[in-house]
Amino acid sequence: MRTMSNGADDHKLRVSKIHNGTVIDHVHGGQALNVLAILGIDGSEGEEVSVGMNVPSDRLARKDIVKVEGRELSQDEVDVLSLIAPDATINIVREYEVVEKSRVDRPDVVEGVLSCPNPGCITTGDEPVDSRFEVLSDGVRCSYCGTIVREEIASLIET
């Protein structure tokens, strides 16, 4: 949208408010699609989603924002989000008002949400063993085989 202000061009990004749902703000630029993957949102279910990518931010220089109508995130979803968006804030919206605002808190361990990329790991075989990863400052480590993943964590999310 373009507006005029005191003879100078003023550029503003406008995304409509959501009625009820969740706003995930302060996601590092370029990670919004990974956030959608974590939430299992691929457009097939008709979810109403607004995404802003690489928008200006005072805190991060550039950030992504994801707004999901009609859905409040579970703690498990927030824990996994924290792995790729450690600076994110989660805003719960009801009747167009933010009723709860919190920052993600990285857990020490995530269980049953990531697949180990090591084909020799006990969690990737026929054994009924849930995955377990220790959360590191720069990635995750499989508790069973020791494999460390620092990039592409979103690609390991079990669906």
Q: Which of 52, 43, 48 is nearest to 14 (CA)?
A: 52
Sketch the domain layout of the chain as residue ranges.
Answer: 2-103, 109-156
127 labelled ligand-binding: no
What is the structure's pLDDT at 88? 92
56 labelled ligand-binding: no
Q: Are 26 and 59 in contact (CB under 8 A)?
A: yes
What is the structure's pLDDT at 1? 37
149 labelled ligand-binding: no
Given this chain, do its domains 2-103 and 109-156 carry the same CATH topology?
no
Q: Are 67 and 36 in contact (CB under 8 A)?
A: no
What is the structure's pLDDT at 14? 60
SS3 25: strand
CA pair distance 4, 2, nearest whole angstrom? 7
Q: Which CATH architecture has domain 2-103?
A: 2-Layer Sandwich (3.30)
Q: Which mean pLDDT values do the consecutive 10-residue runs of the chain (159 residues) have?
A: 42 73 91 86 81 85 91 85 89 94 90 90 86 91 95 77
Q: What is the pTM of this model?
A: 0.76
18 labelled ligand-binding: no
Domain 109-156 classified CATH 3.20.20.70? no
Quickly list DSSP for 52-107.
EEEEEETTTEEEEEEEEET----HHHHHHHHHH-TT-EEEEEETTEEEEEEE----
